[in-house]
Chains A and B, each alone.
Chain A
Amino acid sequence: QKEVEQDPGPLSVPEGAIVSLNCTYSNSAFQYFMWYRQYSRKGPELLMYTYSSGNKEDGRFTAQVDKSSKYISLFIRDSQPSDSATYLCAMRVDRGSTLGRLYFGRGTQLTVWP
């Protein structure tokens, strides 16, 4: 079992829809949770991060972490065609021999059509 599971999609939604992207994980030592966005033929870029449980909002994006369920989500409100990309979740521990290593989900491919 992979440490981080993410449904690869693809996910296709109309412009203006609310998008929900999710990941589950098995390692209870994960403390930092991130979402990366990757456009075609580009490297991933950090979109949002959260530490431990809770919500974080940045414009149209909201990241949620539920450590009790080992489940994280990214919500995109009023989705735009420019949001079309692959979204990868990532997480890491905050101490120990694996400090510095990010564990990635496989990525969810999102298409927002006008």
Chain B
Amino acid sequence: EAQVTQNPRYLITVTGKKLTVTCSQNMNHEYMSWYRQDPGLGLRQIYYSMNVEVTDKGDVPEGYKVSRKEKRNFPLILESPSPNQTSLYFCASSFTVTQGLYGYTFGSGTRLTVV
């Protein structure tokens, strides 16, 4: 089944404890992206990657890191999480060229709480 898989689905952590949210897609998509979704603010892009070893900042990159060493994986790293990073996170992927036809495929989300 074609899908984007995020792990974990739920995570509660303490301020300052480094964490990684994994994202993997099995559709050979070039483009991958991380979003956070907050009430009243909608989806905001954190980082995106056009292909392997090519990453760039989105609208809200502060406090986050990413890497794209393999085409299928795009982990999101929080080096020192803070409570304002409590949010619902989504990973998404697509074919860059035909994206207009198929849009993004989203993962099921990771609910992160930082206390």
Contact = CB atoms under 8 A, between A and B. Distances in A.
Interface of A: 6, 8, 31-32, 34, 36, 41-46, 49, 51, 88, 90, 92, 94, 99-102, 104-107
B101 A88 contact: no
Interface stretch (B13-21, B40-48, B66-74, B76-84): B40-48
Contact of B40 (A94, A101, A104, A106): A106
A104 B109 contact: no
B41 A49 contact: no
Contacts of A99: 96
Given A104-B43, A106-B40, A107-B42, A42 B109 contact: yes
A88 B42 contact: yes
Given A43-B107, A44-B106, A92 B100 contact: yes
Interface of B: 4, 31, 33, 40-43, 45, 48, 50, 58, 90, 92, 94, 96, 99-109
Contacts of B94: 100
25 contacts: A31-B100, A32-B100, A34-B103, A36-B103, A41-B109, A43-B90, A43-B92, A43-B107, A43-B108, A43-B109, A44-B104, A45-B106, A46-B103, A49-B103, A51-B100, A88-B43, A92-B100, A94-B100, A99-B96, A100-B31, A100-B96, A101-B45, A101-B48, A104-B42, A106-B41
Contacts of A107: 42-43
Contacts of A102: 103-104
B8 to A, nearest CB: 14
A49 B103 CA distance: 8
A109 to B, nearest CB: 10
Contacts of B4: 43
Contacts of B107: 43
Closest A-B pairs by Cβ, 5 of them: A43-B106, A106-B42, A32-B100, A46-B103, A104-B43
Contacts of B99: 32, 92, 100
A36 B102 CA distance: 11
Contacts of A106: 40-42
A107 B43 CA distance: 9
